[in-house]
Amino acid sequence: MFSNCFYLNLNHPHIILNYFYLLMALKVGDKAPDFSLYDQSGQKRNLTDLKNKSLVLFFYPKDDTPGCTIEACGFRDKYDLFKILGSEVWGVSNGDSQSHLDFANKNDLQYPLLCDDNNMLRAQFGVPKFLGLLEGRVTYIIDSRGIIRHIFEDLLNGPAHIKEAIKVVKEIQKE
């Protein structure tokens, strides 16, 4: 009778951790948590330092992987447009500063890549893991008041993150 069913072990650490992320996940309209992280150049970046600018904060799984490179280069290619629209772009993953620096130099990335040691910022935002194993790919658009205006999650389609971000930043600029 139950031969076509599968068993999901809800006590598995990855399932529990992903469930925790989902419970803690920030939503559109929430105030983004203030944070302070170092980037690939050793510069400390704080959300509160962005005066009168919106922020495109994109979490990506890992430096120098095919999907992450496509996404990072997409933000690089549209970086001038984001600046014209009054927005900053910051990438976030758990790589160290040397890994981020190598990745940024190899791909001519002109924006900060934040070093999220131990995935603490990822946990604060509630970025889920894919299948409980792979770091998620999620982009947050945060307005100049620190309010999350849009969240876009798609692990496999990095270029869609750029298109979504441009659309939302344009809407914010019109206000």
Domains of the chain: 13-174 (3.40.30.10)
Active site residues: 68
Name the residue type at position 85.
L
Give the model's pLDDT for residue 108. Answer: 98
DSSP string, 58-105: EE-S-TT-HHHHHHHHHHHHTHHHHHHTTEEEEEEES--HHHHHHHHH
* Residue-level pLDDT at 101: 97
Residue 60, pLDDT score: 95
Determine the pLDDT at residue 175.
83
Q: What is the pLDDT of residue 24?
A: 64
Query: Which pLDDT belongs to residue 18?
Result: 43
Q: Which residues of the chain register pLDDT less than 70?
A: 1-24, 132-133
Q: Which residues pair with 90 in a beta bridge?
A: 57
**Tokens read off for 74:** 């997409």
Contact 142, 55 (CB under 8 A): yes
